[in-house]
Copies of this chain bind each other. A is one copy, B any other.
């Protein structure tokens, strides 16, 4: 992963917060909190993950994808198109 240190550290901080949110979910279940509150917390963890995925996807476009398309290698370009479609539409599932 081609990524400058600041961006990498920012992503790690996002992931540590998400880890904390998941532990928070565990406490909510242990404390028998209302289902609706737990489902709302799950939705916010999903939102945080989606936001993290967007940062990494953008970085991927700017680095690996751009390098592959600029290389002029048609096979590399085809593989890159396949990969982008797969990665992005998997995030919709």
Question: Which residues does A use to contact B, with CB under 8 Å?
Answer: 1, 3, 8, 11-12, 15-16, 18-19, 22-23, 25-26, 29-30, 32-36, 38-40, 42-43, 45-47, 49-50, 52-54, 56-66, 69-70, 72, 77, 81, 83-85, 87-93
Contact = CB atoms under 8 A, between A and B. Distances in A.
A77 to B, nearest CB: 7
A59 B85 contact: no
Contacts of A36: 60, 64, 83, 87
Contact of A57 (B11, B18, B39): B39
A26 to B, nearest CB: 5
Given A19-B26, A91-B92, A56 B38 contact: yes
In order of increasing CB-CB distance, the 3 nearest A-B pairs are: A35-B60, A43-B90, A19-B22
22 contacts: A1-B32, A16-B26, A22-B22, A35-B59, A35-B63, A35-B64, A36-B60, A38-B56, A42-B53, A43-B53, A43-B90, A43-B91, A43-B93, A46-B50, A47-B93, A50-B92, A54-B85, A58-B85, A61-B85, A88-B88, A91-B92, A93-B93
